[in-house]
Amino acid sequence: VKKPDTDLVDDGEITAMLRGLAGSAEPVRRTSRPPRSLVRTAATFVAAAALLLPALALARWVADHGSSGSAACADAVTFDGRPYVGHEIRTSGDVRAAAGVGVATTVYCDDTGDTPGDGTPARPVRMRGVQGIDPEVALMSRELSHVVYVAVGRCADLRFREELSGCLRERLDLQGRRYSRFRVHEDHGPAPEQVGAPFLATLSTPAVTARVSVRKIQGIAAVDAVSAEADPRNVYVVDGRCYVGISVDLLSCLRDAG
Partner 1 sequence: VLKVETDLHQLAEAASRGDRPALDDLVRALQADVVRTTRLIVGSGSTVAEDAAQDALADMTRGIGGLEDPHAVRAWALRIATRRAMKASRSERLLRLRRERHITIPETDSLPSRRTVELRSAFHALKPRLRAVAVLRLYVGLSEAETAAVLSIPVGTVKSQLHAARFELSRALTDAGVVPATQVRSKDRGAPREETRH
> Where does this chain bind partner 1 (CB under 8 A)?
3-11, 13-15, 17-28, 30, 67-71, 74, 87-88, 91, 111-112, 158-162, 185-188, 246-247, 249
- Please tell me the distance from the alpha carbon of residue 153 to that of residue 75, in angstroms, as a whole number: 15
Nearest-approach distance from CB 205 to partner 1, in angstroms: 22
Looking at the Cβ atoms of 44 and 247, the one nearer to partner 1 is: 247
Looking at the Cβ atoms of 10 and 94, the one nearer to partner 1 is: 10
Nearest-approach distance from CB 202 to partner 1, in angstroms: 29
- Please tell me the distance from the alpha carbon of residue 226 to that of residue 232, in angstroms, as a whole number: 9
Residue 64, exposed/middle/buried by CB under 10 A (0-12, 13-18, 19+)? exposed
C-alpha 115: how far from chain center = 28
Looking at the Cβ atoms of 60 and 185, the one nearer to partner 1 is: 185
- Please tell me the distance from the alpha carbon of residue 258 to that of residue 256, in angstroms, as a whole number: 5
Nearest-approach distance from CB 146 to partner 1, in angstroms: 11
Looking at the Cβ atoms of 74 and 212, the one nearer to partner 1 is: 74
Instruction: Give the dihedral of Cα atoms 66, 87, 130, 64; nearest 10 deg.
Output: 0
AA identity, residue 68: S
Nearest-approach distance from CB 108 to partner 1, in angstroms: 15
- Please tell me the distance from the alpha carbon of residue 180 to that of residue 221, in angstroms, as a whole number: 15
Nearest-approach distance from CB 183 to partner 1, in angstroms: 9
- Three-state DSSP class for residue 150: strand
Looking at the Cβ atoms of 157 and 224, the one nearer to partner 1 is: 157
